Structures are given as structure tokens and as C-alpha cells.
Amino acid sequence: MLHVLAGGHVSGNSYRIDKNNRLASILLAPAVVVVGFVSLYPLAYSGYLSLFNYRLTRLDEMGFDPTANIGKLLADSLFAKSLGNTLVVTAFTVGIGLVLGMVFALVLDQLTERFEKLRGILIMPWVIPGIVVGYLFMYIFDGNVGVANYLLQTMGFIDAKIPWLMRGDTAMAAIIVANVWNQTPFYTLMFAAALKGIPVSVKEAAYVEGASRASEFFRVTLPQIKTVVVITSLLEIIRNFNNFPIIFTMTGGGPAHETLTSVLYIYKVAFDQYDMGYASFIGVIWVAILMGLAILYIRLLNPKEARS
């Protein structure tokens, strides 16, 4: 299962793997053309644009000037701030989502026969469009009519209403809650599938040895599903780095850039400030960061490759 990238050799019969290069390229061509048109070409063109001073508002100054954008970056404290915000949102969202997803999956694992029905309900937040999640939690965390304040006040956790989205730290917390609600089902599904795959003999061995529930989890269960946990987390880190709609609808990066993440900042530089050159430049930096994570993901999928 883990060595397909290495070529997928099936020894012996030549009918099983075809070496017809022409037919293979005909089969792949349409997909390659579309992905090339939508992803690869724009990315390459971004790299090219990043070398230009290219502001739609000052087209008279437009020209090839690789140092212009480097200068802007050095003088730009917002990009660094956006990187910090992205790290905070991602760290909390993934950390909390991971733990909640694991708890949910362990609970589901105990309910074998009703599992299917419950799973159908638990997956719901994950399919709901990001923009709907954003608006819903903007309403839930509204300072005046939001139900979050009402519930917290009723339960005695807070004395006065909190204007959640008007303050930096509470706005960040509200965004993290919305993200966690939206993403936890993905962890649950992945972990539930992995838990199902643990051989019964392994669980029984732990029981016979009289392991406590906690030690069974940390010493038997977790090591068995470690790979899935690591890969799922990495995938979610990448997705959170690219997450746009929820923050865009809830706060738009505000108040005072306190929740401005890097993708939001790149969007704003391009479509609010019309500085296409600089937007491309920080976009390229962002892609480089993501590609580092992507390479890590591929190596984890493919342990053989990592060693060579």
C-alpha cells in the first residue's frame, strides 16, 4: 500500500501493467491541461509578477524591479503579523480539533451498531459551506443578540456581555471555535476508520494484561494509529494555512488586523490595495512555506522514500 509512488511494480505478467506511453499520455492529458491552466500556470505567472513593481493604481510606475518588493517586505510589519496570526489560529484549531476528534472517535468506537447513524450526524459541520459557518458564528458571537453571551451569562461564566468580534483576543477565540466546530468531524472520521483497523488480538492482549483505560489508549491504541494521526494533522495544518471564508466573513481580518491571516492579507493587498506585484511576491513566499509542509506530507505517506 505504501510503495505506489516508487512505481508500483507488479512482477511477472506484462498484461497487468501496461507500458504503452502513448495511451497513458492520452488518458492523462485532459486532466494535466486543466490543472495546468488553473493551478500551475497561475502559480508560475505569480512568480513572474513578483519580480515587478505592478500596482493597478500606479500603472505609470510599472516595470521590472525585483528589489522593489523586497524593500516593501522589509518595511512591512503586517506580513509578519499575519504569519503570527496564522500560526495562532492554526495551532489552536488543529490542537483542539485533534483532541476533540480523538474523543469523538473513541466514543463512536464503543457504539458499533449505532455507529452509522451517529456518524451521519457528526459529519454535518464538515460539509456546511465555509461562508455559512462564518455567518452562523458571526451571529452566535454577536455582542448584542449573540446566543454565546446569553448561554455563558446564564451558566454564570461571564457577568457582562462580551463584544466578541470587536476585540482582538476574543475575536481570535471566536474564529477558533468556529474552525474547530467545522473541522472536528474530519479528525473523527479519520480516527474512527483507523481505530476500526486495529486488530482485535491487540486490544485483547491489553485487556488480558489488565491495562487501565488510559494506559491502554497511550500504550496500545495510539501507537497503532500514530501514522494516521500525524498525516491527518499535517493535512489539517495545510488546510488551516489556506482557510479563507470563515475568517473573511466573521471578521474580515479585523479588528485592527488582529485576526488578519496570511491568505487574507495576500487577498487584501491584491484586491483592496491593487498592488499585484507585492501580492504575488508575498504569495510566492507563502507557497514556499506550504510546499515545505507538502513535501513533509509526501514523505510521511511514503516512508521508503524518506529513507533514500
58-66, 76-84, 164-172, 241-249 -> range binding another protein (CB under 8 A): 241-249
Q: Does 72 bind another protein (CB under 8 A)?
A: no
Residue choice 240, 249, 251, 259 for contact with another protein (CB under 8 A): 249
Please count the residues of this chain forming the interface with another protein, following the rule CB under 8 A. 110
Applying CB under 8 A, does 87 fall inside the site for another protein? no
Contacts of 212 (CB under 8 A, 6+ apart): none
Q: Which of 11, 30, 75, 210 binds another protein (CB under 8 A)?
A: 30
Residue 2 burial (CB count, 10 A): 11
DSSP-derived secondary structure letter, 38: I
Largest Cα–Cα distance in the chain? 79
Span of 16-24, 63-71, 79-87, 162-170 interacting with another protein by CB under 8 A: 16-24
Residue 283 binding another protein, by CB under 8 A: yes
Selected range binding another protein among 8-16, 70-78, 86-94, 166-174, rule: CB under 8 A: 8-16
Q: Hey, what's the cell of 236?
A: 489539517
Residues 209-228 contacting another protein, CB under 8 A: 227-228
- Coil/strand/helix, residue 158: coil
Q: Are 166 and 255 in contact (CB under 8 A)?
A: yes
> How far is residue 247 from each of residues 95, 186, 253, measured CA to CA in Å?
18, 19, 7
Q: By CB under 8 A, what part of segment 167-186 binds another protein?
A: 181, 185-186
Cell digits of residue 161? 456581555
Q: Which of 194, 184, 228, 222 is nearest to 93 (CA)?
A: 184
- Least separation in angstroms between residue 271's CB and another protein is 7
Least distance (Å) between residue 9 CB and another protein: 8
Rounded Cα gap, residues 55 and 57, in angstroms:
5
Residue of 62, 73, 211, 284 that binds another protein (CB under 8 A): 284
Q: Considering the rule CB under 8 A, would residue 115 count as an interface residue with another protein? A: no
Q: Does 62 bind another protein (CB under 8 A)?
A: no
